[in-house]
Amino acid sequence: MVRDEEETRGGGGHVKKIGIADTTFARYDMYGSARDELEAIGTGFTIERYTVPGIKDLAIACQRLIKGGCDIVLALGMPGPEPIDKQCADQASRAILDVEIKHDVHILEVFVHEDECSSDKDLALLADRRAREHAVNAYDLLFRREKLQRAAGTGQREGHDDAGSLRR
Amino acid sequence: MVRDEEETRGGGGHVKKIGIADTTFARYDMYGSARDELEAIGTGFTIERYTVPGIKDLAIACQRLIKGGCDIVLALGMPGPEPIDKQCADQASRAILDVEIKHDVHILEVFVHEDECSSDKDLALLADRRAREHAVNAYDLLFRREKLQRAAGTGQREGHDDAGSLRR
Amino acid sequence: MVRDEEETRGGGGHVKKIGIADTTFARYDMYGSARDELEAIGTGFTIERYTVPGIKDLAIACQRLIKGGCDIVLALGMPGPEPIDKQCADQASRAILDVEIKHDVHILEVFVHEDECSSDKDLALLADRRAREHAVNAYDLLFRREKLQRAAGTGQREGHDDAGSLRR
Amino acid sequence: MVRDEEETRGGGGHVKKIGIADTTFARYDMYGSARDELEAIGTGFTIERYTVPGIKDLAIACQRLIKGGCDIVLALGMPGPEPIDKQCADQASRAILDVEIKHDVHILEVFVHEDECSSDKDLALLADRRAREHAVNAYDLLFRREKLQRAAGTGQREGHDDAGSLRR
Amino acid sequence: MVRDEEETRGGGGHVKKIGIADTTFARYDMYGSARDELEAIGTGFTIERYTVPGIKDLAIACQRLIKGGCDIVLALGMPGPEPIDKQCADQASRAILDVEIKHDVHILEVFVHEDECSSDKDLALLADRRAREHAVNAYDLLFRREKLQRAAGTGQREGHDDAGSLRR
């Protein structure tokens, strides 16, 4: 993730609302990480949370956060490691995309797959880091889109080391 | 599943309606388990049921329950063990998600896959337990959402032992 | 399939319309089986038919039958045995589900996969039996939904022997 | 394909419009085959064409042809042989189905997969034949639907020898 | 890619707007390639850009570009090499198609999969070339559709050598 001086701040009065949807299925408090990171980056926004049982319930949680006035939403989830879990994650992702397009509000899907790491400790660290880095993305989309533009094509990887640009 | 003292009860007069859609294809009376559990948790709601042949028919059953005034719906099904059954379950899940987003009413998908257990007895126990634990989720979403919020990130698993939180 | 004395008959005047969509790709006249079975079960309905080339054309055929006033539709098809055929069947099924949810009219998908049987004779028997048993389902959804409710969780299998209920 | 005397001709004045969408990605002029066949079958229609780069662009091409007044559309494409090509073909097919259902106008998907034949010559012959036989299907859906009905369940295969009906 | 004298130029006054959506996840500045190529082809258009974190965010970026008045959009992305990346690319593609059909505006998906090449250098060259060749497609769809029509069925391949027409 590129971190940068702040640029376009919401300033000028209108306070934004950031929604965070999370699940009881997840094995890490990704909400805590995202909220902590957002509060460290800046001000000009409030946070609203909606907790559901599993990832398939995230799409409607996002929709309700949007209907409640959120300007952007983070959808936090930790799909299991089995093939059927990948199928469920796929369904959840598509429904989240449907809600995003229907309401024309950005929803950043922040999924950590249980089979991305071999130890619980690494998985917890990944969940924390990915939630934090996507929280920065949410902030950037809301307040300083030019920062994302400058990072275009640079191989950013949320939760892992960045891949970097290709050399020709 | 976290079980807790009741908190926000529907109270104040408005009786909620919980819809339950089930199938003749399923090999266990998951409706009975869900209804039994709901009646044991609390009051303030009525139950409406819609039985269809198979899981692909659950989406329209859920839609009709919602059009009939249900505030939340449980979609109970038992997909078969073959690859084609996974494909059918995937179609059914997506249609259920479409209905949920279209009407902005929670539908909890409660599927038990026949290949989750090696014996009929275990499969029956899983079907019973999962239906009961998702019935509690439905109740929580309707009457006490703060209970779900407190359980966020704690690795809840409906029908199995909870996975618990990751240690860092 | 549970067969039963008839119960709720459409009676009282309003004649229902049952739509049947079928294909030239199928290798068995499933329409004939469905119509024959429907006529044997009862009265109170008329049948309307729409034949298309392949299973991907069934969704629009169903939609046109519904727009023509059908109260329920049977979508009859026989997908081929190759992986690409499964992909096509998946597309067809999803489009049928989309039409069903859009119009809130039951569409019973009656697909017989060519690789479900090893001989042509068995495949023909399966196609005949499955079409007939889903014709009964259509009749039940239209005229006697309580019969389906009594069969919930009993492991009904259209075209094959029923799987039965799980013992605990 | 069943070929037959013509029956219901559009007659009575209203000239129909048949849309044909094709791609620069395809390796055979399937448009030429379809147009040639249509012109050989009968009259009472005009043809409108929309060429796009690849199969994923066919859905919007079909939509634009429909918005331009087409009564039926042929979507011609030749997906590549790799797994990622199957994924792209799947996306293209679903989008085509979405357009078909949205506008309630038949779109016949005429895809020839590059791995259906082992030689370029056979692939060209298949592309030609399939385009022609689906052109006849389009004509039949528009002008003589009873011909399709008579061929229901007879195992028609566009581009290959027909599979025929199953014997019991 | 067929390159040709320009033909139908937007001429006559109305300046078109071409949208380009890209990601910080991509490892190559495909936007730069597309813009450079567009500027080399002709005039009569302006370019608007929208950068998002990953490919799943491209669909809403495209929608916002369209709502901002773009007449056509290029969606540039570089999905990773793992199976889960293919799944994400599939979700992204479908959402892009949904936006395209909803707004009836062409969106050219320009994805370069990381596993298409074995070296970083080749991957960079492919990303550059594919972005450029699809930029030409966008120009052609906007200003000279007859050029695409002349190339129909000739096996055009963006980023690779053309496959050419099949010989019979």
> What is the CB neighbour count within 10 angstroms for residue A117?
16
Two structure tokens written together for A97: 């995309």
Residue of D nearest to C65 (CA): D104
> What's the number of domains chain B is made of?
1
Residue of C nearest to B48 (CA): C149
Asked whether residue C30 is domain-assigned, the answer is yes
Residue of C nearest to B101 (CA): C101
Contacts of C102 in chain D (CB under 8 A): 101
pLDDT at D167: 79
pLDDT at C42: 92
Nearest to D57 by CA among E163, C87, E63, E106: E106
pLDDT of residue A49 exceeding 50, the answer is: yes
pLDDT of residue C28 exceeding 50, the answer is: yes
**Residue from A97, A115, A126 to probe the interface with E (highest E Cβ count within 10 Å):** A97
User: D83 vs chain E: nearest CA distance in angstroms?
Assistant: 10
Q: Work out the percent of chain C whose per-residue pLDDT is above 90.
A: 90
Contacts of E134 in chain D (CB under 8 A): 53
- Residue D162, classed as helix, strand or coil, is coil
pLDDT at D1: 43
Tell if the CB–CB gap between C127 and D166 is shorter than 8 Å: yes
Residue E167 vs residue D102, higher pLDDT? D102
The answer to whether residue E53 neighbours chain A at the CB level (below 8 Å) is yes
Tell if the CB–CB gap between C134 and B95 is shorter than 8 Å: no
Query: Complex ipTM, two decimals?
Result: 0.92
pLDDT of residue D3 exceeding 50, the answer is: no
Asked whether residue B9 is domain-assigned, the answer is no
Average pLDDT for chain C: 93
pLDDT of residue C64 exceeding 50, the answer is: yes
Two structure tokens written together for E73: 């959009």
Asked whether residue D5 is domain-assigned, the answer is no
CA A89/CA E85 separation, integer angstroms:
13
What residues make up the domain containing A49? 16-150
Tell if the CB–CB gap between A27 and B153 is shorter than 8 Å: yes
pLDDT at E168: 73
Q: Is the sign of the CA dihedral D115, D118, D123, D125 positive or negative? A: negative
Question: Which candidate from B94, B100, B106 shows the least CB-CB separation from A94?
Answer: B94
pLDDT of residue C118 exceeding 80, the answer is: yes
Question: Pairing between strand B16-23 and A107-111?
Answer: unpaired
Contacts of C152 in chain B (CB under 8 A): 22-24, 26, 29, 31, 51
pLDDT tens profile A70-129: 999 999 999 999 999 999 999 999 999 999 999 999 999 999 999 999 999 999 999 999
Asked whether residue A22 is domain-assigned, the answer is yes
CA B135/CA B20 separation, integer angstroms:
10
Q: How confident is the model at residue D115 (pLDDT cuts 50, 70, 90)?
A: very high
- Phi/psi of residue C105, each to 5°? -125, 130
Task: Name which of A2-6, A87-91, B113-117 the model is least confident about.
Answer: A2-6
B49 touches B76 (CB < 8 A): no
Question: Pairing between strand A107-111 and A72-77?
Answer: parallel
Asked whether residue A5 is domain-assigned, the answer is no
Q: Work out the percent of chain A whose per-residue pLDDT is above 90.
A: 90
CA geometry: angle A21, A24, A26, nearest 5 deg: 85
Cross-strand partners of C108:
C74
Tell if the CB–CB gap between B124 and C94 is shorter than 8 Å: no
Asked whether residue A166 is domain-assigned, the answer is no
Two structure tokens written together for A10: 């919401």
pLDDT at E14: 85
D84 exposed, middle or buried (CB, 10 Å; 0-12, 13-18, 19+)? middle
pLDDT of residue C68 exceeding 50, the answer is: yes
Cross-strand partners of C17:
C46
The answer to whether residue D20 neighbours chain E at the CB level (below 8 Å) is no
What number of CA atoms fall less than 13 Å from residue D136's CA on the CB side?
A: 21
E153 touches D29 (CB < 8 A): yes
Burial per residue of A69-91, b for 16 or more beta-carbon CB atoms within 10 angstroms, e otherwise: ebbbbbbbbbbbeeebbbbbbbb
User: C31 vs chain D: nearest CA distance in angstroms?
Assistant: 8
Task: Name which of C55-59, C164-168, E54-58 the model is least confident about.
Answer: C164-168
DSSP line for C25-48: S-SS-HHHHHHHHHHHH--SEEEE
For the residues B41-69, what does the mean pLDDT come to? 98
Asked whether residue D90 is domain-assigned, the answer is yes
CA D116/CA D81 separation, integer angstroms:
9
pLDDT at C127: 98
Scan for tokens 């090893």, then name that residue: C118
CA A160/CA A1 separation, integer angstroms:
9
Question: Which candidate from A93, A101, A113 shows the least CB-CB separation from E99?
Answer: A101
Residues 6+ apart with CB under 8 A from D123: D27, D28, D112, D114, D116, D117, E166
D87 exposed, middle or buried (CB, 10 Å; 0-12, 13-18, 19+)? middle
Asked whether residue A107 is domain-assigned, the answer is yes
Task: Locate the DSSP E strands across chain E.
Answer: 16-23, 45-52, 72-77, 107-111
Residue of E nearest to D22 (CA): E152
C44 exposed, middle or buried (CB, 10 Å; 0-12, 13-18, 19+)? middle
Average pLDDT for chain A: 93
Q: Report the CATH number at residue A72.
A: 3.40.50.960
pLDDT of residue B3 exceeding 90, the answer is: no
CA D71/CA C62 separation, integer angstroms:
18
Tell if the CB–CB gap between E104 and D60 is shorter than 8 Å: yes
What number of CA atoms fall less than 13 Å from residue D161's CA on the CB side?
A: 2
Distance of CA A88 to the CA centre of its chain: 18
Q: Work out the percent of chain B whose per-residue pLDDT is above 90.
A: 90
Contacts of C84 in chain D (CB under 8 A): 86, 113
Residue of B nearest to A24 (CA): B152
CA E137/CA E74 separation, integer angstroms:
10
Contacts of A31 in chain B (CB under 8 A): 152-153
Contacts of D90 in chain C (CB under 8 A): 87, 90-91
User: D56 vs chain C: nearest CA distance in angstroms?
Assistant: 15
Residue of C nearest to D103 (CA): C60
- Rounded to a whole number of angstroms, the CA Rg of chain E reads 16
Contacts of D124 in chain E (CB under 8 A): 166-168
Instruction: Supply the DSSP symbol for B154.
Output: S
**Residue from E85, E97, E136 to probe the interface with D (highest D Cβ count within 10 Å):** E97
Residue of E nearest to D79 (CA): E155
Residue of E nearest to D101 (CA): E101
Nearest to A54 by CA among B163, B40, B54, C90: B163
E133 touches E32 (CB < 8 A): no
Per-window interface: E 84-143 vs A, CB < 8 A: 84, 87-88, 90-91, 94-95, 98-99, 102, 120-121, 123-125, 127-128
Burial per residue of B55-92, b for 16 or more beta-carbon CB atoms within 10 angstroms, e otherwise: bbbbbbbbbbbbeeebbbbbbbbbbbeeebbbbbbbbb
pLDDT at A4: 44
A103 touches A68 (CB < 8 A): no
CA E134/CA E36 separation, integer angstroms:
12
Question: Which candidate from A106, A134, A152 shows the least CB-CB separation from E31?
Answer: A152
pLDDT tens profile B65-94: 999 999 999 999 999 999 999 999 999 999
CA A84/CA A92 separation, integer angstroms:
12
pLDDT of residue C63 exceeding 90, the answer is: yes
Two structure tokens written together for C150: 């009594």
CA E30/CA B60 separation, integer angstroms:
44
pLDDT of residue E107 exceeding 90, the answer is: yes
The answer to whether residue C47 neighbours chain D at the CB level (below 8 Å) is no
B79 touches B86 (CB < 8 A): yes
Question: Which candidate from D89, D94, D101 shows the least CB-CB separation from C60?
Answer: D101
